[in-house]
Structure 1
Amino acid sequence: MQHSQLCRLIDESLRPFTDQFAFCLTKETEKDLLIVLSQGMVVKVPVCNNKCSVGSHCDDHNCLTKIIGDLILLLLIESQYVQHLAGNILVAISNYIVASGGNWDEFMQSLCVCLELLISNALLHSLVRASTKALVSKHDSSGVIIALKSKLKNANWSSVACIIRVLRNILKRLKQDIDDQLLKVYLNSISYCLASVPWDSMDEVHVGQNGDAVRKFSEDAFRTKAVELESRIVFRGTLVQLFCSLLNQSGWMEAAGGALNKHPVICEISNLIPRLLAWCLCDGDSNNMCMSVYFRHKMLVWI
């Protein structure tokens, strides 16, 4: 079974490193992992055509959950190179799933569950209130939550930005294929995910903890908060880019006679524009001003 082979490949490739994962690698370990990701795994991702046998639904689903969980875990490592390669592999696997002709729903559902979990845990780390509860995904019936929740407990805004970037790159690939059914599943998954995010708590993080508040901390705490502020800005940037791609796709589908402009995901984005503008208006730090102006420009273009 193709999924089982891919699952075994990834498991065997990453197993020497998983015991050492503290999300902060030594230079030597990072080098070894980068070699595995760039030379060992990417070139071996199976290339399928429509005649591929993808095995039983149950086995494929379990394999997909493990594959995605293992690769999403890499997004939590404090190495932009590891994150980049792991993201590329996830996009390559999405291409493989499309080519194999099966399990696309499960793949997108699992990715969106991971996004929800990453956001939930990033919120838990950012908010001061100890009583803040993690997001409970409505996808729980699939069993994905149980398999992935413990793996993603160290999520931060940088890892959230990584998976959003993966989702955007997958959308670009779908546009090339012009497959309405694949795009429909993608959009439904994204829409459902956006509707599940606790945006009120996100407001507290992105508006209530701006650069001015950071300066009140000690020097060490200042550095930590400054890094988090930077990662939140990167998160906003990737979110704006994803929304831009979705809205651009809307225009393309409308020209082709489609009805994407009426899809709930477009309504979700429209409802979020005021929040995103409020987040950008709170970035008063001169170092972030250019990025903030760029975000506001993009959102005004949407309007």
Structure 2
Amino acid sequence: MEIPTYDDMQAAHERIRDHVHRTPVLTSSYLDELTGANLFFKCENLQKAGAFKARGASNAVFGLSDEQAAKGVATHSSGNHGTCLSYAAGRRGIPCTVVMPRTAPQAKKDAVRGYGGRVVECEPSTSSREAVFAEVVAESGAEFVHPYNDPRVIAGQGTCSAELIEQVEGLDAVIAPIGGGGMVSGTCLTLSTAAPDVRIYAAEPAQADDAMRSFKAGHIIADDAPETIADGLKVPLKDLTWHFVSNHVTDIFTASEEEIVDAMKLIWKRMKIVMEPSSAVPLACILNNKDVFAGKRVGVIITGGNVDLDRLPWMTD
């Protein structure tokens, strides 16, 4: 297992500089009052391709040799990683294939195709996703860029918190959503070296709480097909992300589906920014654990803004 280093993150930052945005940090006095904390929202919903995953995908794609790149890249993704890999591949002019659950939001399938990627559908389970993906790679010989269990991807995601600590001084904590753990691992990679006193928290849907259960058990527990409106957080931890989570995360909190929707509405209404359900989980968890965050300066990573506007979670059919 190749564990990425702080030097890898710095190299990634240089490599992807021309391909990603340095996203803004926004604040809300209303949300500060509500939580009793000073919250600093790192807006990766305003990132290229609409999600932080543009960072890791760009690092992987632009780090390939010309020979590797010629065969293209491939991945499996519920949406944002596939979109971002298609974006990065398009920038380099190479093919990209994405295996996606047939239940993935139409907006995310359309986004992959919009950046020139090819979508191959699978059943909505980890086992189906991996089986279909194996066929795709055998056929094309494309370079596999895992959505999160890839040192190049984690090093790229680490650039987000590197920017955050330059933009906001004196943070006490950073909280990010956790599914497979790519963003949280990148956060751990950067902060454990650059700001070791900053506590790192992860936020997870209660209906897909395998990371929290893993954290408490001391080993990976994987759910095959959990159901949650936070569609970006349905995947399990893997060995590389588990390394970072188990060594550097202070705690993992959960929020119910209703709490996630309430937090999402709060951010839409108060901050006037579009973000997806997965991105609302950290605020929901802060509201559930005010005693932990009260009086603290907290970085909150809003991971993505790729929302299916025809299927918002508070709409009823």
When the two structures are superposed, what TM-score results if normalisation uses the length of structure 1?
0.28
| Structure of higher CA gyration radius | 1
Q: Identify the structure with the greater helix proportion.
A: 1
Name the one with the larger strand percent: 2
Instruction: Name the TM-score, length of structure 2 as normaliser.
Output: 0.28
